[in-house]
Amino acid sequence: MDGLRALGPGQEIVTPAFGEASLDELARVHDPAHLARLEAFCAEGGGDIDADTYATADSWSAARRAAGAGLAALQTLEQRGEGIAFVPVRPPGHHATRDRAMGFCLVNNVAVAAASRTALGERVLIVDWDVHHGNGTQDIFWDDPAVLYVSTHQHPLYPGTGRPDEVGGAAAAGLTLNIPLPPGATGDVVRAALDEEARASIEAFEPDWVLVSCGFDAHRDDPLSNLRLSSGDFAELACIVREFAPRPGRLALFLEGGYEAAALAASVEATLGALLGRPGAASTPTEGGPGLAQLRVDGTARRRAVDTALGRAGA
C-alpha cells in the first residue's frame, strides 16, 4: 500500500465493496472436503498445516475475503469497462491446489477469480511472474481448455514443479506453459520469456481476461530467491502483459509473494505506475544474467511435449 500511495493517483482509485467468497465460488476450484477441513481446522484454533503454512482462528474468514476481493475486482472492471485492478490481499494463493493448502496459501485467489469467468464461457490467461512456480494454479487448470497458464519461475526452488515438459492434460495440451529460470537471471531473460517464448501461444489463445499472479519475490533484494530483477523490470513486464489484454478493463493483478518491504513497495509503485502512465522512480531494468540460451532449449522441449500430449489425445 505504500507503493500505491507513492503514485498519488487521488480520485482515480476505486475501492469496491467486497465480502467473503461463497462456498460455491470456492468449490469451482477446490474440493469441498478440503474447504470443510480448512474451516474446521481454523474453527478449532488453527496451527501448523505444514512446515511453511499455518492458520489461525481468523484465517478461514481472511482467506474467503481475499478470494472475495478478487471476484469484486473483476466485477468492477466489467461494470466500468475500463481501468486495471490490483488485488493486494493476504493470504496469497497460487500454491493452493484443488485439495491442499501449502506454501503460505490457503485458497487460490487467482484461480477462484479465473473460474468465475470461465463459468460464463470466457477464456482466461493467467501470467504468473512470482519467483516460485504456481503449482496450485497449474494443478487446478491442468485439463481446462478455457485457461492458459504461463509461469516464469526460478528453478530449482520451492515447490520443485514447473518443468518445461509440464504442458497440460489431454484436453488442454499446450495450455500450461512453464518457463523455468536459473539463479541469477535478470529482467531481460524474464521479458524474453513472455515477449518471445509465450507471446505466440497467448495470441493464438485469444483471452477474454488477463490475470497476473504478480509476486515480487524475484526482486534482487528479496531473501527467498536468487533472481536479480529490479523494480524497473516489473514495470516493463507489466507493459508486456498489458498488451495481451483484449481491451481496457480486462487486466487484474493479484499480489502473491514479496518478502522485503522496501523492494515490495518499490515494485508495486513501478508496476502500477507503468500501467497508469506514471513511471515514477523505477530502478533501471536489469540485463546480462544467465538463462537466455536455455529459453530456446526449453522451448524445444516444451513443443515436443505438446506434440506428444496431442498424439496421445488423438490415439
pLDDT at 282 over 90: no
Q: Of residues 30, 95, 155, 219, which has the active-site annotation? A: 95
Q: How many residues does the chain have?
A: 315
> With bands split at pLDDT 50, 70 and 90, how would you rate the model's confidence at 315?
very low
* 150-159, 184-193, 300-309: least confidently modelled range: 300-309
Active site residue 95: yes
Q: What is the pLDDT of residues 108-130, one digit of tens each?
A: 999 999 999 999 999 999 999 99
pLDDT of residue 11: 58
* 34-43, 115-124, 255-264, 271-280: least confidently modelled range: 271-280
Mean pLDDT of 286-303: 95
Residues paired with residue 90 on neighbouring β-strands, in sequence order: none
